[in-house]
Structure 1
Amino acid sequence: MHYVTSKGILSKNNGMNLYRGCTHGCIYCDSRSKVYGMNHKFEDIEVKQNSLDLLKKELRRRSPAMIGTGAMTDPYIPLESQLEYVRKSLKLIYDYGFGFTCITKSDLILRDLEMLKKINEKTKAVVQMTLTTADDDLCRILERDVCPTSRRIEVLNILKREGIPTVVWLCPILPYINDTEENINSILDMCIDSGVKGIICFGMGLTLRDGNREYFYSKLDESFPGLKEKYIERFHNSYSLPSPREKQLMDIFNKRTSSEGILNNPDEIFRYLHEFPQKSYQSKLI
């Protein structure tokens, strides 16, 4: 871990990253890509030490809207349990009458359940959870240092019971690893039982860029000997790596989500995530 002083904390679309880097150990993580210009070791978490002061200033001058986090770094990395930057930012978001949404794989989010409920009662809070495999043993290979799928489903069910809407990211689906009908159907079963509002899926496959490609292939060598060569032969140096089973898997995905009334169009889901409730009351502090 190391501290930096940042010039800003919110993007023009109200996106926020309190940390840079991650220790979840997901073998496919796009945030490792060189295109993002991270000049430190990925596991050496960059902490924006002035982020809470910056957030307070930004919330004072902006109109209430949804604040989002987790696009680049899971906000609930283990370090958050010590520093509590997310927890403190949620308090500010609540005080200034904003809404909140985040993408995570961690059950640490339950620590902040009461604050999420308060935000949701006042404005809107949505939790987005990533699911890739229904198999906990495979999950521990693909996403080594974060809670397994079964625990994430428990989290989704707790959030459902507490009235917090949820969205699932069904990605990435790795060719020859988790791209099976059994896996997709099992995850969809879990999502249906958990009452998720939407499932984001950009297709059955993954993307690789310089930086994360090398890391991904090194992990394939460790856990799936011989598979790297199969990837290189089929996909060469492509950015997009669709599953050979993409069509049938997408047919299953679209049919089942539509029949259950679950949002499955990414654009429609993103509109929902960004939509700030008109009836919310605001108590912006001076």
Structure 2
Amino acid sequence: MHYSTAKSILSKNNGMNLYRGCSHGCIYCDSRSKIYGMDHEFEDIEVKENSLELLKKELKKRTPSMIGTGAMTDPYVPLEKNLKYVRNALKLINDYGFGFTCITKSDLVLRDLDLLKKINEKTKAVVQMTLTTADDDLCGILEPNVCPTSRRVEVLERLNQEGIPTVVWLCPILPYINDSEDNINSILDYCIESEVKGIICYGMGLTLREGNREYYYENLDKHFPGLKEKYIREYGNSYSIPSSRDKKLMDIFKRRTSQNSIMNNPNEIFKYLHEFPQKTYQTKLI
């Protein structure tokens, strides 16, 4: 890891990244793509050392609303356990009466359950969890340095018990690896049992472009010999890599989510994530 000084911390839509880069090692990660202009090794995580100071200044000026993090970098990378930038950001978000949502694959989010509950009592706190495979052994290959799917499901269940709403990202689904009916149905079973509010799925497949394509193919050679050549024959250098089972699997996804009153339209889910329900009057700190 290394430190940097940031010029700003919140986007105009209240998106936030306290870290840049990741050590989870997910073989498909789009954030490795060169289009994002990262000027350091992906695993050499950039820590924005003045981020909390910047966040406090912005929260003082802005109207309370939802603050989101995790779109580019999982906020609960292992170094967060000691640095506690996310936890301290949550304290500020709670103090200033804002809501919060994050995308993560880590059970470290449970460390901050006390703050998530406080925020949710006043406004709204939503945890978004990525699930790609129901098979923990396969999970260890696809997402090697983060807790397995079974543990993430335990996190979803605990959050549900504590009244924290959850959303699942069902992606990416990798052709010839995890694009089976059994896998999709098993993940949907987990989501139904955990009473998630919504599942975001744009289709069964993944995206590849310069930067993440090379890393993905390197891992295919390592763990799935011969599969890279199959991808190259079928997809070339395409950005979109759809599964040949997309229609059948999406039919299953839409049918089962609808039957269980789980939101399945991404636009509807994003609208929910951005809605700011101010439950009690909160005086902003000076």
| TM over 0.5, shorter chain | yes
Q: CA RMSD in A?
A: 0.5
Per-residue CA distance 1:57-99 (angstroms, 9 max, x = gap): 0000000000000000000000100100000000000000000
Partner of 2:115: 115
- 1:282 CA drift (Å): 1.9
CA contact (8 A) 2:122 2:279 kept: no
In structure 2, the gaps of 5 or more residues are: none
In structure 1, the gaps of 5 or more residues are: none
Q: Secondary structure at the match of 2:155?
A: helix
Structure 2 counterparts to residues 49-64 of structure 1, below 5 A: 49-64=49-64
Q: Secondary structure at the match of 1:169?
A: strand
Partner of 1:196: 196
Per-residue CA distance 1:213-246 (angstroms, 9 max, x = gap): 0000000000000000000000000000000000
- 1:279 CA drift (Å): 3.4
d(CA) in 1 for partners of 2:99, 2:140: 33
Per-residue CA distance 1:93-124 (angstroms, 9 max, x = gap): 00000000000000000000011000000111
User: Which residue identity lines up with residue 223 of structure 1 in the other structure?
Assistant: H
Q: Secondary structure at the match of 1:133?
A: coil
Per-residue CA distance 1:176-222 (angstroms, 9 max, x = gap): 00000000000000000000000000000000010000000000000
d(CA) in 2 for partners of 1:176, 1:26: 17
Partner of 1:103: 103
Partner of 1:277: 277
User: Which residue identity lines up with residue 198 of structure 1 in the other structure?
Assistant: G
Q: Percent identity?
A: 79
Q: Which runs of 4+ in 1 moved over 4 A?
A: none
User: Which residue identity lines up with residue 27 of structure 2 in the other structure?
Assistant: I
Alignment of 1:77 onto 2:85? no
Relative distance call for 1:278 and 1:82 in structure 2 (3 A) is: closer
d(CA) in 1 for partners of 2:278, 2:84: 30
CA contact (8 A) 1:3 1:48 kept: yes
Partner of 1:24: 24
d(CA) in 2 for partners of 1:247, 1:95: 46
CA contact (8 A) 2:6 2:51 kept: yes
Q: Secondary structure at the match of 1:183?
A: helix
Q: Secondary structure at the match of 2:126?
A: strand
Partner of 1:130: 130
User: Which residue identity lines up with residue 114 of structure 2 in the other structure?
Assistant: E
Alignment of 1:34 onto 2:18? no
In the comparison of the two structures, how many residue pairs are matched? 286
d(CA) in 1 for partners of 2:261, 2:280: 26
d(CA) in 1 for partners of 2:278, 2:145: 39
Q: Secondary structure at the match of 1:271?
A: helix
User: Which residue identity lines up with residue 154 of structure 1 in the other structure?
Assistant: E
Alignment of 1:255 onto 2:283? no
CA contact (8 A) 2:122 2:278 kept: no
User: Which residue identity lines up with residue 130 of structure 2 in the other structure?
Assistant: T
Q: Secondary structure at the match of 2:168?
A: strand
User: Which residue identity lines up with residue 152 of structure 2 in the other structure?
Assistant: R
User: Which residue identity lines up with residue 238 of structure 2 in the other structure?
Assistant: S
d(CA) in 1 for partners of 2:63, 2:119: 16
CA contact (8 A) 1:123 1:281 kept: no
- 1:33 CA drift (Å): 0.2
Q: Secondary structure at the match of 1:100?
A: strand
- 1:278 CA drift (Å): 4.0
Q: Secondary structure at the match of 1:216?
A: helix
Q: What's the TM-score once normalised by structure 1's chain length? A: 0.99
